[in-house]
């Protein structure tokens, strides 16, 4: 079987986008892990499957370990670019598990509404009722810790505000936080340093993927929680390890703007 695919990346977060044979791929965790493998497959942070459902373009996200994700801001921008510039579809409406997404091109960047943020402990979800904007992890030492917050934007997120990102050993702290018992379904982790009220720096550790150069839903959850906690403004610039992203908060919804690139198109033989 030959499977055509698109390799895409947004801010260093890379994806395999497939819109053929998607039912076969979705049923096989083994196949998803094979395609995601950077040594024997194609290689990616996530696989995105697209399936048209009437006037909507339904997307499913899969982490490189075969587990499912519910949202991906950088991936959504890449899907929007693929649909509009490769498939030539005008104003496509993209549907993830929990949200409807629309996008637009702004000069050489792409903007997508990633979804509504919830701070409800049940929706993140945590295993028990806690103040989601002031979490405590007694047995984990985090250098220069200021505050730990959490939120959901389809995916669960843990936002760790610190004084200096250079003091963070992400390979050590990332796995400890992502799988902390407080998070019922684990959580993507953002380590963040505030540079000003409109500029932050971030590092990411994702459930099912580990260390990634960027995390779109994590960027949005981080921007929202920092704004709610009065650390930053509604519109901010985010410095990732390899690029820059921009967020804008409109009530509970976060818009994410940044690069999206089609790296190459090909097919893989299974």
Asked whether residue 117 is domain-assigned, the answer is: no
Q: Note whether 91 and 149 are same-domain residues.
A: no
Specify whether 166 is located in the same domain as 94: no
Residues 103 and 149 in one domain: no
**Domain count within the chain:** 2
Return the structure tokens found at 199: 């500029």
- Averaged pLDDT, 8-13: 97
Pairing relationship of beta strands 56-63 and 93-95 according to DSSP bridges = parallel
119-129: pLDDT as tens digits: 999 999 999 99
pLDDT at 209 (0 to 100): 93
Give residue-wise pLDDT tens across range 108-151. Answer: 999 999 999 999 999 999 999 999 999 999 889 999 999 999 99
Average pLDDT of the residues of the chain: 97
Res 39 pLDDT > 90: yes
Whether 233 maps to a domain, the answer reads: yes
In-domain check, residue 215: yes
Does 38 share its domain with 95? yes
Q: Does residue 153 sit in the same domain as residue 224?
A: yes
Identify the pLDDT of residue 187. Answer: 98
Q: Any idea which residues carry the catalytic annotation?
A: 72, 215
Q: Are residues 93 and 189 in the same domain?
A: no
pTM to 2 decimal places: 0.96
Evaluate whether residue 69 is within a structural domain: yes
How many Cα atoms sit within 13 Å of 29 on the Cβ side? Answer: 5
Q: Are residues 172 and 220 in the same domain?
A: yes
Q: If residue 13 lies in a helix (H) or strand (E), which one and from where to where?
A: strand 13-18
> Is residue 56 in a domain?
yes
Give residue-wise pLDDT tens across range 54-98. 999 999 999 999 999 999 999 999 999 999 999 999 999 999 999
Q: Is residue 92 domain-shared with residue 189, that is, in the same domain?
A: no
Identify whether residues 91 and 152 lie together within a single domain.
Answer: no
Q: Does 157 reside within a domain? A: yes
* Same domain as 15, residue 100: yes
The answer to the question of residue 123 being in a domain is no
Instruction: Indicate if 153 and 230 belong to the same structural domain.
Output: yes
129 belongs to a structural domain? no
Give the chain's count of helices (H) and strands (E). Answer: 5, 18
Answer whether 21's CB lies under 8 Å from 3's CB.
yes
Place of tokens 């994410």: 256
Peptide bond into 268 cis (omega under 30): no
Residue 13 structural domain: 2-107+259-264
CATH of the domain at 32: 3.10.310.10
């Amino acid at each position: 079987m030959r499977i055509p695919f698109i390799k895409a990346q947004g801010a260093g977060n890379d994806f395999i986008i497939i819109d053929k044979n998607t039912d076969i791929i979705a049923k096989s965790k083994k196949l998803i892990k094979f395609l995601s493998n950077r040594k024997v497959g194609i290689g990616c942070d996530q696989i995105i499957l697209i399936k048209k459902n009437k006037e909507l373009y339904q997307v499913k996200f899969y982490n490189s370990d075969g587990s499912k994700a519910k949202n991906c801001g950088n991936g959504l921008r890449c899907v929007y670019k693929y649909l509009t510039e490769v498939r030539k579809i005008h104003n496509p409406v993209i549907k993830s598990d929990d949200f409807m997404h629309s996008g637009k091109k702004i000069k050489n960047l792409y903007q997508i509404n990633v979804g509504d943020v919830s701070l409800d402990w049940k929706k993140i979800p945590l295993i028990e009722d806690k103040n989601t904007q002031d979490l405590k992890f007694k047995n984990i030492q985090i250098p220069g810790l200021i505050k730990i917050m959490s939120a959901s934007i389809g995916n669960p997120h843990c936002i760790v505000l610190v004084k200096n990102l250079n003091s963070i050993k992400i390979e050590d702290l990332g796995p400890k936080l992502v799988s902390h018992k407080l998070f019922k379904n684990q959580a993507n982790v953002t380590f963040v340093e505030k540079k000003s009220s409109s500029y932050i720096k971030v590092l990411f550790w994702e459930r099912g993927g580990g260390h990634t150069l960027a995390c779109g839903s994590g960027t949005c959850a981080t921007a929202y929680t920092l704004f709610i906690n009065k650390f930053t403004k509604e519109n901010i610039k985010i410095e990732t390890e390899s690029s820059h992203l921009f967020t804008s908060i409109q009530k509970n919804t976060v818009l994410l703007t940044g690069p999206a690139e089609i790296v190459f198109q090909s097919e893989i033989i299974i």
